[in-house]
Amino acid sequence: MSQGQADTRHGPLYDMSALGFVPGELVVVTGAASGIGKATALSAAKSGLAVAAWDLNGSGAAATADEIADMGGTALAVTADVSDATQIDRAWHETRALGPCKFLVNNAGPPSTSQGPFADLLTLAVGSMEAVTTRWLEHCGDVAASMVNISSIAGNLQGSGKTVSAFYPAAKAGIAGLTRHQATRYDGRPRVNAVAPGITITPRIEPMLEMPAMQDLAARVPVGRLGYPEEMASAVLFLLSPAASYINGVLLPVDGGVTQG
């Protein structure tokens, strides 16, 4: 990118500490090596939270933690496959080095174009979130305050047609259902909500940005463009925060209004 050229892949990171976060409180973000997970980890750090950045990609998680350290924040990189119960347990034990975890962002999951047995991918996408949450409450249930699951407008507000594997909209609808169940199962302690991103400019999407079909999709969005990871992160941080203390069990679309057309 040349000097003076705007970065059209990213939006600004906002300091959301005024929403009631106490400096140093801990959030775990799964899938924190890139995309929405990384933006959420950086936004949390900018808002004063300590961050445990979990990812199957250990070097990517470490890069996110290093970026947070460069911002003056506190972070721990944890290499973890959230489809493996043993690795989830180990990750929670490692995370306790930063103290008890008050907030959780369940973001990790298979890409929308993943190929494999439908049932296996569905279990990976939805079952891993339930497994991470269950272990969180076992380790940190006395302080657990709120969590956000990352769903999608796919499977909830639109079908996505031929652009993704069949498991993906089914899984994202399942995550929305799981969120509503968790919100009532735990009696609001912790609060549980979900964010449903529209098409967002992540590393998975960037190679397709110049394709006519993608440009056509962007033109259909009422705000005139695709979403930035940082915009999804802002929605996540709001729902996590004490400022959202009476919001429990919602699926919040963050899609520029495309599903309202």
Tokens of 113: 């174009």
pLDDT on residue 209? 72
pLDDT grade for 2, boundaries at 50, 70 and 90:
very low
pLDDT on residue 87? 97
14 given a catalytic annotation: no
Residue 187 has pLDDT above 90, yes or no: no
Residues with Cβ < 8 Å from 99, sequence gap 6 or more?
A: 24, 26, 50
pLDDT digits (tens, 9 = 90+) for 105-130: 999 998 888 899 999 999 999 999 99
* Entry field: residues in the chain: 261
pLDDT on residue 212? 80
Residue 248 has pLDDT above 90, yes or no: yes
Distance CA 190, CA 102 (A): 9
Residue 258 has pLDDT above 50, yes or no: yes
pLDDT on residue 16? 97
Q: Which of 14, 168, 228, 246 is catalytic?
A: 168
pLDDT on residue 160? 67
pLDDT digits (tens, 9 = 90+) for 40-69: 999 999 999 999 999 999 999 999 999 999
pLDDT on residue 1? 35
pLDDT grade for 7, boundaries at 50, 70 and 90:
low
Tokens of 260: 């309202």
Instruction: For the chain, state the CA radius of gyration.
Output: 17
pLDDT on residue 9? 81
Domains of the chain by start residue, with CATH: 20-246 (3.40.50.720)
